[in-house]
A and B are shown apart, each in its own frame.
Chain A
Amino acid sequence: MRTIEAGAITDAVEKTFMEITHLLGDDLVAALEKAHREEESPLGKEILSHLLQNVKIGREEKMPVCQDTGTSVVFVEMGQEVQVVGGGLFEAINQGVGQAYTKGYLRASIVRDPILRGSTGDNTPPVVHVEVAPGNQFKITMMAKGSGCENMSRFSMLTPAQGRKGIIDFVVDTVRRGGGRPCPPLIVGVGLGGTFDQAAWIAKKSLFRRVGAHHSEPHIRELEEELLEKVNNLGMGPQAWGGRITALSVHVEKYPTHIASLPVAVNIECHSHRVRTVAL
C-alpha cells in the first residue's frame, strides 16, 4: 500500500491553482497563435493580438489572465493501492483551494447557497470528482473554470433516430446561442452517451485533453473536425465581433448508452483555458 500525506495534496492544489490562473498552457498559447495567423477578420486578428499580449502580461507579472478565476474543479485519479493519510482527501483539496485563492489574490467567486447567495470568501468548496484506477498512481487534474462560458453549456436528450445529424445541430446551435457571452474563441467539450450525469461529466473531462488533440477513434475524430468547421462557419469569430475563428477546437468523449437514449452534453470553455494535471 502506497501512502500519500494529505498535506502534500493540499500543497499541490494550492501551488497549481496559484499558477494556472496566470500561466496558460503551451497548447492553448499555440492554438491562440495559430488563430492569430489564420483569422481573416482584421478586427478578429486585433482581438487575438490583445489576447496574446494578455497571456504575456499574465506570465511576466503573475497577474490572473481573467478576473473570473473560476470554480475550482478537481479530478482525482487514485490508484486502489493508495491510501491518503494524515487527513481526509476532500478536506485536503478544499484547504488547498482556500489557500490558493487567498494567498494568490484570486477572486472568491463561490456563493454558499444558489438561492440565498453570499460569498464563501475563499472560493471553497471546489467541485471534486474521484475515480479509482488500478495500481498506485495518484493524479490530480485541476481546472479554474470560468462561469461566463460554463453558463452557455447545454444538455439534451436526443433520440437515437436523431443520431449524428442531431448531435451536430445541437452542438452548433449551442455555440450560436452563446454568441459573444462565453468569450470566443472557445474550446467546445461534448459528451455523448451514458446517462444524464455521465454525459455532462465526460463533456467536462474532454476539456482536460490537450487543446486540439483528437479522439483516438476515427468516427469521433471526424465528428470533431466536422463540428469545428461548422462552428467556425457561424462567422462569429473572436468575441463574436465577426471572424472565422469561433472555436480553437472541439473535443468529443463518448460512453455506451441505453437502447432508448442519445444524451448530448455540451460544456463550453473560453480561451482562458486553465487546466493542469499533477502526479504525486
Chain B
Amino acid sequence: MPEFVRIRAPMDEAAVLSLRAGQKVLISGVLYSGRDATHKRMIELIQKGEPLPFDLKGQIIYYLGPTPARPGQVIGSAGPTTSSRMDPYMLPLYEKGLKGTIGKGNRSQEVIDLIKKYKAVHFSNIGGAAALIAKSIKKCDMIAFKDLGTEAIYRLEVEDFYCIVAYDSEGNDLYKEAMARYGR
C-alpha cells in the first residue's frame, strides 16, 4: 500500500468507498470551512427551505475558524477544531449530499452510524499544527456569513492537505483500533 492516498475534493462516490480508517491521505481541491455558529445557521436555512451558500453534493467541510490573515498571507493559522461539537447538526447535511468532514477527535456513535448509512467519510488532521497546515491552503475566499467573523464560510483551495481517515464508509474507527493497539 502506498504511504499516502491522494484524493480530489469534491469527492466522487468511488473515492469515498475506497478509503479505509487509518489510511493517510493528501487532499487537493476545494474544502469549505464551517464550525459551531456556521452549522447552526446552515441548519436554520435548511429548516426554512432556503438555499445553502454552496451545494453540499460530494463536498468536504473542514471544521475551522482561522486566525485573521496578515497582509500578504492567504490565510492565518488554520488547524482543525473539535469535530464532536458538530455532531448534532450532521443528519440534514448528509441528506443534502455532504460526503466528508475534517476535524480533530472522536465522534459520537450516532455520527459514525450516519457516516456508514450515507456512505461518507470523516478525516482527522493534526490539532494544534495550525501554522504548518496553513501552508497547504493556497487560496481562501469568504463566501457567506461574513458577520460570523472567524466562523464565516471560507472556500479553501488546498494542495496535499494532510489527513488520516478516522471513520470510513463501512463504520471502521481509527481511534478505537489505535487505543487497543497501544494500550497497556
Contacts and interface: CB of A to CB of B under 8 A. Distances in A.
B79 A242 contact: no
Indicate the member of A43, A57, A233 with the most B CB atoms within 10 Å: A57
A239 interface: yes
A107 B65 contact: yes
Interface string A124-147: 000000000000000000000010
A108 interface: yes
Contact of A51 (B126, B164, B178): B126
A182 B124 CA distance: 13
Contact of B64 (A57, A67, A69, A234): A67
A151 B85 CA distance: 10
Interface in A77-133: 105-109, 117, 119, 121
A242 B149 CA distance: 35
A180 B83 CA distance: 10
Contact of A50 (B82, B83, B129, B149): B129
A187 interface: no
Interface in B40-85: 64-70, 76-79, 81-84
B31 interface: no
Interface stretch (A1-9, A58-66, A253-261): A58-66
Main secondary structure of the interface of A (DSSP, over half): loop
B65 to A, nearest CB: 6
B29 interface: no
Given A68-B79, A106-B67, A239-B104, 6 more contacts: A54-B132, A146-B128, A181-B82, A181-B104, A239-B127, A272-B128
Interface of B: 37, 64-70, 76-79, 81-84, 104-106, 124, 126-132, 134-135, 149-150, 162, 164, 174-175, 177-184
Interface of A: 22, 40-41, 43, 47, 50-51, 53-54, 57-58, 61, 63-69, 105-109, 117, 119, 121, 146, 148, 151, 178-183, 233-237, 239-244, 270-272
Q: Which 7 A-B pairs have the closest CB atoms?
A: A242-B178, A235-B183, A181-B105, A235-B182, A183-B127, A180-B105, A63-B131
